[in-house]
Chain A
Amino acid sequence: MALLTAKTVTKRFGGLVAVKTLDLVVEQGSIASVIGPNGAGKTTFFNCVSGFFRVDEGEIVFDGHPIHHLRPDKIAHLGIARTYQNIRLFPTMTALENILVGEHRHLHSTWMGAVVRTPAQRNEERRAVEEARRVLQFVGLAGRGDFLAGKLAYGDQRRLEIARALASKPRLLLLDEPTAGMNPVETEQLTAFIRRLRDELGITILLIEHEMRVVMGISERITVLDYGEKIAEGNPKEIQANARVIEAYLGHGAATGESGSGTPEGETTSGATT
């Protein structure tokens, strides 16, 4: 069953077409990837899904609800959470508070209730903190909860960002280059962790990733974008063998060469994509 369906999604910035008539389906319970060279429109697509951008054409349907016209907070309430390419935590709040903001959509306290602090309110708050501690534990940040998020080590910040997204109990989790800036050991740990999210928590995962070992290792379905257009789609085997993909990554003529590894140099830790 398809959890997320994008139909002919187009997003333009002035004359630039960042995403062009993109069709994409993410199956319930799967791990899917979007890959492509810098500027291929991957993050733009994420921003369309999470509601930061309005799509110009086409529609995005999540679990039967059209979401392409909704505000980001409404989309979050339907059960989509995301992380960001350049980590965007709330730096001067503690790690625990960051996660508590993640739980926002499941809490019901009003300002009146917060002032009076009714028993129900207090219970909810206590459970929320317990839940936040559990999430910290789950991502391996137990004991770091009282640190300011901005003061955590880089790897911990990445994990905290995922923890914050998890706290909203999403059904679909969008990960934008989760392994950027990580060393091979950390990357491997994170890959295993992403698989656990799906296997243990049942969260459907859509990720943008440059690290081919991660992409090929965990994705069940890969969509390749180039200049905003989908140039290939399929399982890792098919993608590795696809001539157009190799061409997009390595340039014209490279497809005739050796195509086994699929780990283009220089792409692994690249910075900005649109």
Chain B
Amino acid sequence: MTAIAAARSEGQGATLAVARIGLIAAAIQLYLCLVGIVPIFDERPLIAGVLSLGEAAILITMFGAGYLAAQRAGEVTTWQAGVAGVGAGVLSGASLTLIVLVGSVVDLRAVFIHASPDLYDMLTRGLDLAGSWIPIAIGGIVGGVAGLVARSPARFRRPLLWALAMLVAFGLFAGLLRTPMLNNFLAGLARFLFAPEGLTLIGAAIVFVATFAIVVLEARLRVRRRAGELPAARRRQLQLPLLLLAIVIVLAFPIGFGSFFAQVIAVVAVYVLMGFGLNITLGLAGLLDLGFVAFFAVGAYTVALLTSTGEFGIAGWSWWAAVPFAVLFSMAFGAFLGLPILGIRGDYLAIATLGFGEIIAILARSDLLKPWLGGPQGITNVPKPIDVPPDSFLAGPNQIYYLAIAGAVIVAFVAMRLRSSRLGRAWMAIREDEDVAEALGVNLVQTKLLAYMLGAAFAGLGGALFAGLVGAMFPTSITLFVSINVVALLIVGGMGSNPGVVLGAIFLIGVPELFREFSEYRFLFYGIALIAMMVFRPEGLLPSRVTRRELHRPEELEATAPEDLTAAAGDMGGSEGSTDPAQEATR
């Protein structure tokens, strides 16, 4: 009796889990449709003539619901998992049917302007009320398939999920990839794979099959394991050509992809510079600075003042002569702002620095400084760093692209050197425990000021590049959002990690630039991305590795590390969890 009761209650638990996931998916779909994300995404084809991005968003939600439901259903057979998937999929699809049914009785547009006939047409495949069952059917099918996939062996599941993800990625970037390819010998291939927007059907098939095959092959050949087993010296030898290839690609980028891309990447690089700067102040020294844009502004205005040929220019120097001063002024400013807030810790520091950022923005806009900084009109006529004829390749954003990349490389180098020095260690010690660091002889005043100054220097360089890129400097560029962006890209990339800064900047600054048409929802996705990041990968995309210096070969370390010690250590490490994920050390 009890066994049956237990089984029944387990079954009930599974049903509940499926119902919950189905309802969550239903809520997400309602939101996506009524807020207008699906209708707008629907205008962008993913696979030309077959699937739009809007439809894909719905299908992905259904797939996710089915997949999760099968995972949460507990110990069940594959077919039961499929049934769980169908259940969750049907529930999520039912929300769309509900929109169609309600929409036929009441005019939802009074409240939700996006609940238009276009949306209903899309959901019912043009059948109107008669087709209101279609979302449920599609939900059931997609959910069921997802449920089965969730239970399939990894050697099949992994390539399939990768292939689907790649399909979406290539569909999204098709237009961007196609345009540059049309200009050279790849034009035929471009027309074959890509429609003007989205993939062609054949292109989609090729992307799907190719990704599937690559992932299968990678798993079969165990590329990663073999790479891991190689001796360090050999691994380095293999990395060198990859590095060279990466350099060539970076240098040739504007040639292949044109100046729009170059401009986007130049902006990304400016943020990378600021990210490196804040990585010192916040990532290493642990001093939260929400007014980081101030140093950027000082750098940009210094360059603008010293170089402008317009009415506010005071020197008419070249960009190159002005840059060192921009960096120096930013540093001085960093010290100037740093002094009064030396003794402030934690949350209070964030508020104080927030205030500084706003003060700078207001000053730049003010009538008080208008005779010098131009007030809201800003300073225009900032010459380009490299004076070339307007039709030359280096005119416009391309030269800033190269300068920004060069600047980022130099700054990355400086940041890396600083990180593994006496000063870098002192910064980290302050971040971890200020009092103890001081009792070990670390001069808090000096060390903190250096953190502010060097962070400011990097941001000032970013500002200098920005002024050169735009050819002007306006107070509208000094917004709180810049500061928040820099903090966010550090968090997304991985606090304290220099490669993380680059990746974070690409994701948070670069990718949104490429999806200008959805800019209305930029902050929505920004927020979702940040929350998802904090929940699923709080350490960031590329967390900093712990350097190994006591034992030269990590293999030896693993050999000497007993399992139980690692396990015990895991229990004790509970109190931290702010920045560095510690798993790296015990691997």
Tell whether A and B belong to one assembly: yes
Instruction: Please determine whether A111 and B450 come into contact, CB atoms closer than 8 angstroms.
Output: yes
Interface of chain B residues 536 through 576 with chain A (CB within 8 A): 546-551, 554, 557, 560-561, 565-566, 568-570, 572-573, 575-576
Instruction: Please determine whether B585 and A77 come into contact, CB atoms closer than 8 angstroms.
Output: no
> B residues within 8 A CB of A152?
569
Instruction: Please determine whether A104 and B550 come into contact, CB atoms closer than 8 angstroms.
Output: no
Q: How distant is A155 from chain B, measured CB to nearest CB, in Å?
A: 11
Binds A, one of B105-113, B304-312, B439-447, B463-471: B439-447
The answer to whether the Cβ of B358 comes within 8 Å of any Cβ in the partner chain is no
A-B contact count (CB 8 A): 161
Q: How distant is B557 from chain A, measured CB to nearest CB, in Å?
A: 6
A93-B428, A145-B550, A150-B572 known; A104-B439 Cβ under 8 A: no
Give a binary string over A127-162; 1 marks a CB under 8 Å from any B CB, 0 the rest. 011001100100000011111101111100000000
> A residues within 8 A CB of B443?
73
Q: How distant is B360 from chain A, measured CB to nearest CB, in Å?
A: 25
The answer to whether the Cβ of A94 comes within 8 Å of any Cβ in the partner chain is yes
A91-B576, A102-B440, A148-B580 known; A153-B549 Cβ under 8 A: no
CA A115 to CA B417, docked complex, whole Å? 5
Chain B's closest residue to A142 (CB) is: B550
A96-B550, A136-B550 known; A76-B441 Cβ under 8 A: yes
Q: Which of A72, A117, A129 interacts with B435 by CB under 8 Å?
A: A72
The answer to whether the Cβ of A68 comes within 8 Å of any Cβ in the partner chain is no
CA A13 to CA B508, docked complex, whole Å? 49
A90-B429, A111-B421, A152-B569 known; A147-B441 Cβ under 8 A: no
Q: How distant is A234 from chain B, measured CB to nearest CB, in Å?
A: 30
A52-B435, A129-B549, A145-B551 known; A92-B582 Cβ under 8 A: yes
A101-B429, A105-B440, A153-B568 known; A133-B585 Cβ under 8 A: no
Q: Which of A71, A109, A129, A144 interacts with B438 by CB under 8 Å?
A: A71
Would you call the interface of chain B mostly helix, strand, loop, or mixed? Answer: helix
Instruction: Please determine whether B579 and A107 come into contact, CB atoms closer than 8 angstroms.
Output: no
> A residues within 8 A CB of B586?
147-148, 151
CA A101 to CA B437, docked complex, whole Å? 8
Interface of chain A residues 160 through 198 with chain B (CB within 8 A): 164, 168
Instruction: Please determine whether B441 and A90 come into contact, CB atoms closer than 8 angstroms.
Output: no
Instruction: Please determine whether A109 and B422 come into contact, CB atoms closer than 8 angstroms.
Output: yes
The answer to whether the Cβ of B520 comes within 8 Å of any Cβ in the partner chain is no
Chain B interface size, as a band, is 35 or more
A146-B550, A151-B586 known; A90-B428 Cβ under 8 A: yes
Q: Which of A111, A113, A146 interacts with B549 by CB under 8 Å?
A: A146
Give a binary string over A78-104; 1 marks a CB under 8 Å from any B CB, 0 the rest. 000110100011111111110011101
Q: How distant is A75 from chain B, measured CB to nearest CB, in Å?
A: 8
The answer to whether the Cβ of A114 comes within 8 Å of any Cβ in the partner chain is yes
The answer to whether the Cβ of A50 comes within 8 Å of any Cβ in the partner chain is yes
The answer to whether the Cβ of B433 comes within 8 Å of any Cβ in the partner chain is yes
Chain A interface residues (CB < 8 Å from chain B):
50-52, 71-73, 75-77, 81-82, 84, 88-97, 100-102, 104-105, 107, 109-111, 113-115, 117, 125, 128-129, 132-133, 136, 143-148, 150-154, 164, 168
Apart from the given pairs A151-B566, A151-B586, 20 other A-B contacts in the complex at a CB distance below 8 Å: A51-B439, A72-B438, A72-B439, A73-B442, A81-B439, A88-B433, A88-B435, A90-B428, A90-B433, A97-B425, A100-B425, A111-B454, A113-B421, A114-B417, A114-B418, A146-B548, A146-B557, A151-B569, A153-B568, A153-B572
List 24 contacting pairs A-B, 8 Å CB cutoff, sorted by A: A52-B439, A84-B436, A90-B428, A93-B425, A93-B429, A101-B425, A101-B440, A104-B426, A104-B442, A107-B422, A111-B423, A117-B417, A132-B550, A143-B560, A145-B549, A146-B548, A146-B554, A146-B557, A147-B569, A148-B546, A148-B573, A150-B575, A151-B572, A153-B569
Across the A-B interface, give the 6 residue pairs with the lowest CB-CB distance, nearest first. A145-B550, A114-B421, A105-B441, A151-B569, A76-B441, A90-B432
Chain B interface residues (CB < 8 Å from chain A):
413-414, 417-418, 421-426, 428-429, 432-433, 435-444, 450, 454, 546-551, 554, 557, 560-561, 565-566, 568-570, 572-573, 575-576, 578-580, 582, 585-586
